[in-house]
Amino acid sequence: MSPAAASGPSRVRGPSTTTPAPAGLAARQAALAALTRVEEDGAWSNLAVPEAVADLRDPRDRAFAAHLAYETLRWEGTLDAALALVLSRPLAAVEPALRRVLRLGALQLLVSDVPARAAVDTSVQLARRSVPRGRSAGAGGFVNGVLRALDRRDGDLAWPDRGDDPVAHLALSTAHPSWVVEDLLERYGTTRTAAILAADDVAPGVTLRANADRDALLEELTAAGIDARPGALPVSIRAPGADPRTLAAVAEGRAVVQDEASMRVALATGASEGDRVLDLCAGPGGKTTHLAHLVGEKGQVTAVELHPHRARAIAEAAERQGVRVAVEEGDGRAPPVPDDARFEVVLLDAPCTGLGTGRRRPEVRWRRTPEDAAALARLQEQLLRAAARHVAPGGQLTYAVCTWTTAETTHVVDRFAPEAAAAGLTCTATTQLLPDADDTDGMFIATWQAV
């Protein structure tokens, strides 16, 4: 359904629903395996989906399976609302394996260009394989009945009218939780909020950061048959159809898979040749290594990371890219650096709800709650206070979060203001990047200059 629609349409058409050519059962099994990993193991889809589809030989099967998995995760709330119209019991009461099959089938009926018969028949087969053999017939019959009832209702989903209930309408038509919609509506109004949420539903292509000569890397990618073009930044390349796992430049550290919003964070720090940099909450190292390239061999980057596996990822990334980074395991609230250590550049890339990454990890919107945003905001303030103590005179403090909630962005800056002033820090800029206007992840960046 288009975000601009007034009421329930015949299809839940979103801006991201260009469907690859339908494939058979194997592709759907791979998609279901990815959904299971995301739900049961808490995996992120940007890792689970490529792994699940890797064994499919036909690239069309891989593309179709990936589409089904990502879009089922993206549209989960809307699919659940549609299924609730035809179920005789709450969807939460349906066992998880069959619930995933129902969502996958509903996605094909309501969002993707898949014939109803193929969507229902393959879902029945998946249901039979998802339960013990003695229950396979019953499971198949149950899924068949629900999806056929949903197909018959197509065109009568009765979503709320946008004028009467903009929150409910946008929540269903763009597949976002109501609290996320409300938070955006308060600041941006209905039209802009609809545009932001619609853009958040468009799966992004691959963006690369060139660590050396961007033009040479563009020529290399083009010669390999990859559709690559310059990005919006001097170091960025847009390569929408590329598979980073197959790129020699990525394996050799000459390029890094990174959204332009993250590149803008490193650039916003003002880091330059010879600077000393403290990067707090630095894992997995994308911004850290970018900073290391900016300060060069004469500079020094100290990366602090709480989690050992993320600290290892920073060290591995630095080695692969040929830059020097001193990695320290520790809590950013009490950084493992001398109390009197001062740095020209201090970056706090703080833990956050991550809602701004929803284009590539759509399940994040369903995992987070308003309570998460409030709790993380308290942590972010503690981290900011610690970061501020290590800014050298004339240096700069940068705060970044890949989200757009008020609690984690402007409210954090406002609450930090008295302490910033007491520490001799002046707020020089705040920027909220958003997917509709900037074609990037949602990223908030604030900077302070020390006297």
* CATH number, domain with residue 219: 3.30.70.1170
pLDDT score of 155: 66
The verdict on residue 374 lying in a domain is yes
* Residue 3: pLDDT over 60: no
Confidence of residue 241 (pLDDT cuts 50, 70, 90): confident
Q: How far is CA 7 from CA 11, 173, 181, 280, in A?
A: 11, 9, 17, 47
| Same domain assignment for residues 374 and 415 | yes
Look at residue 171 and tell me if it is in a domain: no
User: Is position 319 within any domain?
Assistant: yes
- Does the residue 245 lie in any domain? yes
Last residue of a domain, one of 97, 130, 159: 159
Same domain, 391 and 286: yes
What percent of the chain is predicted at pLDDT more than 70?
A: 95
Q: Say yes or no: 269 and 133 in one domain.
A: no
Looking at the domain assignment, is residue 71 inside a domain? yes
Say if residue 78 is in the same domain as residue 114.
yes
Q: pLDDT digits over 268-305, tens only? A: 999 999 999 999 999 999 999 999 999 999 999 999 99
402 catalytic? Reply is: yes
Averaged over 102-116, what is the pLDDT?
Answer: 94
Q: Which tens digits make up the pLDDT trace of 113-142? A: 899 999 999 999 999 999 998 899 999 999
Q: Is residue 246 located within the same domain as residue 265?
A: no
Quick check: 15 pLDDT over 80? no
Is 179 a member of any domain? Answer: no
Q: How far is CA 196 from CA 1, 15, 110, 176, 180, in A?
A: 15, 12, 22, 11, 11
Out of 281, 352, 402, 427, pick the active-site residue.
Answer: 402
CA-CA distance, 354 to 345, in Å (whole number)? 24
Same domain, 272 and 246: no
Q: How confident is the model at residue 356 (pLDDT cuts 50, 70, 90)?
A: very high
As a whole number of angstroms, the distance between CA 310 and CA 418 comes to 33
pLDDT at 439 over 50: yes
pLDDT value of position 253: 97
- Asked whether residue 144 is domain-assigned, the answer is yes
Residue 400 and residue 266 share a domain:
yes
Percent of the chain with pLDDT over 90: 91
State whether 241 and 354 are in the same domain.
no
Is the pLDDT reported for residue 392 higher than 50?
A: yes
Instruction: Kindly state whether residues 269 and 214 are assigned to the same domain.
Output: no
pLDDT, position 190:
96
The per-residue pLDDT of the chain, averaged, comes to 94
Confidence of residue 345 (pLDDT cuts 50, 70, 90): very high
In-domain check, residue 365? yes
Q: Are residues 76 and 147 in the same domain?
A: yes
Model confidence at 7, pLDDT cuts 50, 70, 90, reads very low
Last residue of a domain, which of 159, 188, 217?
159
Q: Contact at 8 Å (CB) between 408 and 376?
A: yes
Quick one: 19 exposed, middle or buried, by C-beta within 10 A (0-12, 13-18, 19+)? middle
Residues in the chain: 451
Q: Structural domain tally of the chain?
A: 3
Q: Which amino acid is at 204?
A: P
Q: Same domain for 50 and 88? A: yes
* Domain extent for 230: 205-256
Q: What secondary structure, in 3-state letters, does the chain show?
A: CCCCCCCCCCCCCCCCCCCCCCCCHHHHHHHHHHHHHHHHHCCCHHHHHHHHHCCCCCHHHHHHHHHHHHHHHHCHHHHHHHHHCCCCCCHHHCCHHHHHHHHHHHHHHHCCCCCHHHHHHHHHHHHHHCCCHHHHHHHHHHHHHHHHHHHHHCCCCCCCCCCCCHHHHHHHHHCCCHHHHHHHHHHHHHHHHHHHHHHHCCCCCEEEEECCCHHHHHHHHHHCCCCCEECCCCCEEEECCCCHHHCHHHHCCCEEECCHHHHHHHHHCCCCCCCEEEEECCCCCHHHHHHHHHHCCCCEEEEEECCHHHHHHHHHHHHHHCCCCEEEECCCCCCCCCCCCCEEEEEEECCCCCHHHCCCCCCHHHHCCHHHHHHHHHHHHHHHHHHHCCEEEEEEEEEEECCCCCCCCHHHHHHHHHHHHHCCEEEEEEEEECHHHHCCCCEEEEEEEEC
| Phi, psi at 298, each rounded to 5° | -80, -15
44/55 same-domain check: yes
Domain boundary among 256, 275, 292: 256
pLDDT of residue 4: 34
pLDDT in tens, 147-188: 999 999 876 888 899 889 999 999 999 999 999 999 999 999
| pLDDT surpasses 80 at 6 | no
**What is the pLDDT, as a whole number, of residue 19?**
58
More confident residue, 38 or 14: 38
What gap in Å lies between CA 53 and CA 51, rounded to an integer? 6
Please state, in angstroms and as integers, the Cα–Cα distance from residue 86 to each residue in 134, 170, 276, 430, following that order. Answer: 26, 22, 61, 47
